Amino acid sequence: MKRWNGWGEEEITYPLPPSAARYLESIVGTGVPSQDISRENVLDNIPASRLLSHPLVSIDKEDRLRHARGQSLPDWVALRSGQIGVFPDGVAYPRTEQEVHTILNYARSNRMRVIPYGGGTSVVGHINPPAGEVPCLTMDLSNLNRLVYLDETSRLATFEAGVRGPSLEAQLQARGYTLGHFPQSFEFSTLGGWIATRSCGQQSYYYGRIEDLFAGGHLEMPDTHLDISVFPASAAGPDLRELILGSEGRFGVLTRATIRIRPLPETEAFFAVFFHDMESGLNAIKEIVQADLPISMVRLSDAIETETTLALAGKPDMVSWGGRLLTRLGFGSGRCLLLFGVTGKKRTIHRLRNNTHTIARSHGGLPVGKLIGEQWRKSRFLTPYLRNTLWEQGYALDTLETAVAWCSISETASRIKEAIVAASAPLGKEVLVFSHISSIYRDGASIYVTYLFSRQADPEETLHRWQVMKSAASHAIIAQGGTISHQHGVGRDHLPYLESEKGRLGMAILESIGKTCDPSGMLNPGALFASDQRQMTKDGI
């Protein structure tokens, strides 16, 4: 069964080796474990639903609890402490587009708010019900999970939007195809969620981001519906797909989507290269992408992430031996680890690997084979489970990300990490901050930052520490001209910074589209538009 207050399935754990625990303690101090509230205790205190009875809607308290929050750090603090605040009044599980339409009519007729819900994996507050007097209904699309149509000639597949990553890939791979979209949340996230948040997979350099893969679809709205036709390309005005991409459920409920698929690759492999420092690694991957080498994945860890990754591997003897060897070869404490993947036909894999190694060596890189890369591949969807273990050991962990041009990457990464450390200093606690570069483009790349700190006995204090560091990092991103979100969407957490990126006119354009698609503002209020939040406060919603 899926955890109600953490990540993933209950029976899956990611143990923290003793050597890794000692490493964390040496940097951020001893963790502060505290007793989590029990599920039974939370269930006992969920208020009665305000919804009118409907055959497609459940008001069961267990359902309402499991749809109250996502996977952001504030969500974890709320769920683990029991200070959840607001629950949806009910959860609908439509099985067809017609049932989605019926539920929207029911909600509109009874002046309800509706939150479209995919896999519940949001890390920035997309699915949290708003407080107020107006009832809130969560619409869980998990039953809309079927392959509707496969066009093998055009290599297009139409799926219902609630299909999870593993199910989507299983249905395609049984027919010899793949979408190739593998975000770290792949185990639970859905096709509709990827589209609604402009998701980016770990091998997006080869397969494309979700906006490259999304060809068209069907959107149910409170009063009507919208069909986005599928074309190879079109110059017929603005692309209406953009109404759905990144819309976060604000413009309608995506019920089905047509996606561009590929035949399964003949083979793929993942390799590791060490660099003397981050700058050398950055120059190498910039040359790789601008030379149009069709690798499928890049992840360049800074020195601290490289050290932390090896420490958390739980093999201190092997890590120590490898470290001594690297030191003898001239790779000191600033060494950085690059992982890269190659995907495609067998006859081209070796040439591509060799060409990548040649560029890496020209920047002082040391290729070290496939062992580290293959270990990453095997554990890439298991790694999120480490967050559960860290919490239980007394540590909180969060991530944030941006994307900037190549000329700004080094300074932006430094500024973000410095901002987090500086914000934490007055609080009297240490924080472990590190980053990696991934999702490369010809003109720039994404910066993915992780920060870990000791929890406080008081959950409000833990949340305050997070807010101070998150705010400082967000302001640093804006100051450096970075996007406030490269792959996680906006949600509630990033909304205060959105106007800095879109501009006042840009926000007004988006809001006017929202009023056309959803005149009464019933869909996911508080998403995308700051005016929604202001109006909700005014109305007491």
Question: Residue 284 pLDDT > 50, yes or no?
Answer: yes
Tens of pLDDT along 395-449?
999 999 999 999 999 999 999 999 999 999 998 889 999 999 999 999 999 999 9
Tokens 């799926």 sit on residue = 159
DSSP per position, 75-119: HHHHHHHT------SEEE---SHHHHHHHHHHHHHTT-EEEEESS
Domains and CATH numbers, the chain: 15-45+391-493 (3.30.300.330), 46-140 (3.30.43.10), 147-263 (3.30.465.10), 267-380 (3.30.70.3450), 495-539 (no CATH)
Q: What is the pTM of this model?
A: 0.95
Q: Residue 341, SS3?
A: strand
DSSP per position, 36-62: PPPHHHHHHTPPPP-PPP-TTEE--HH
Query: Which of 307, 378, 375, 373 lies closest to 342 in space, CA to CA?
Result: 373
CA-angle at 493, arms to 488 and 497, nearest 5°: 90
CA-angle at 239, arms to 236 and 242, nearest 5°: 170
Contact present, 372 and 272 (Cβ < 8 Å): yes
Query: Which of 517, 525, 513 lies closest to 221 in space, CA to CA?
Result: 517
Average pLDDT, stretch 279-299? 95
Rounded Cα distance between 355 and 87, Å, is 54
Question: Residue 535 pLDDT > 70, yes or no?
Answer: no
The DSSP output letter for 416 is H
Q: Predicted confidence band at 539 (pLDDT cuts at 50, 70, 90)?
A: very low
Q: Is 8 left (phi over 0), alpha (psi -120 to 50) or beta?
A: left
Average pLDDT, stretch 244-266? 97
Q: Residue 360, SS3?
A: helix
Contact present, 429 and 449 (Cβ < 8 Å): no
Average pLDDT, stretch 473-486? 98
Q: Predicted confidence band at 536 (pLDDT cuts at 50, 70, 90)?
A: very low
Rounded Cα distance between 301 and 204, Å, is 18
Per-residue confidence (pLDDT) for residue 540, from 0 to 100: 43
Tens of pLDDT along 163-177?
999 999 999 999 999
Rounded Cα distance between 241 and 510, Å, is 14
Question: Residue 318 pLDDT > 80, yes or no?
Answer: no
And the tokens for 436?
A: 């990696």
Tens of pLDDT along 346-397?
888 899 999 999 999 999 999 999 999 999 999 999 999 999 999 999 999 9
What percent of the chain shows pLDDT beyond 90?
87
Contact present, 60 and 22 (Cβ < 8 Å): no
Rounded Cα distance between 380 and 185, Å, is 10
Per-residue confidence (pLDDT) for residue 531, from 0 to 100: 67
Tens of pLDDT along 4-33?
999 999 999 999 888 889 999 999 998 888
What does pLDDT average to over the chain?
A: 94
Contact present, 20 and 314 (Cβ < 8 Å): yes
Per-residue confidence (pLDDT) for residue 317, from 0 to 100: 65
Q: What is the CA radius of gyration of the chain?
A: 23
Contact present, 453 and 396 (Cβ < 8 Å): yes
Residue type for 277, please? D
Per-residue confidence (pLDDT) for residue 316, from 0 to 100: 67
And the tokens for 319?
A: 């890590």
Question: Residue 534 pLDDT > 60, yes or no?
Answer: no
Q: Predicted confidence band at 541 (pLDDT cuts at 50, 70, 90)?
A: very low
